[in-house]
Amino acid sequence: MLAADTNAWARAYLNDDVAQASKARSALAQARSRDGVFVPLIVLAELSWVLRSRWEREKVLNAIEGLLQTRGVAVESPILAKRALEAARKGPVGFADHLIAEISFEFGASEIITLDKDFGRKPRVRRLK
């Protein structure tokens, strides 16, 4: 199984450097058809930030959802990623923040602190003022 960093996924999605995008898409397609591609949760978080800098929120969420459903792609803790995606679709808080919450609570955190106004409104998340 191959793992790809955020840059490879970002180039494949954004096509902002045609040569790099072509290389990334080709390598990812080959890996998916062979032993698969592993996607760590940190890559999902970073990818959502990179894509959000260029795309509308819904397009980013659709891309993340598509990645979770792509044959030959294995996502670390897919249940946590899916829960974060579902939560992100419900309001202004971004996918990465929801992913942070899902991971934190799964591993025993009782509370999250943040300076983010929207994220600070979530249950068990306290905004520092």
Q: Which domain holds residue 116?
A: 2-127
Question: What pLDDT does 82 receive?
Answer: 98
Question: What pLDDT does 112 receive?
Answer: 98
Question: Which residues face 114 on adjacent strands?
Answer: 127
Question: Which residues face 11 on adjacent strands?
Answer: none
Q: What CA–CA distance (Å, rounded) separates 102 from 114? A: 15
- Give the domain CATH number at 49: 3.40.50
Question: What pLDDT does 119 receive?
Answer: 96
What residue ranges of the chain have pLDDT lower than 50?
Answer: none
Helices (H) and strands (E) in the chain, counts: 6, 5
Q: What CA–CA distance (Å, rounded) separates 78 from 75? A: 5
The count of structural domains within the chain is 1
* Tens-digit pLDDT profile for residues 34-65: 999 999 999 999 999 999 999 999 999 999 99
Closest CA to 65 of 83, 40, 90: 83
DSSP helix, strand, coil percent of the chain (3-state; round to 5):
60, 10, 30
Strand (E) or helix (H) holding 61: helix 57-69
Q: What is the mean pLDDT of the chain?
A: 97
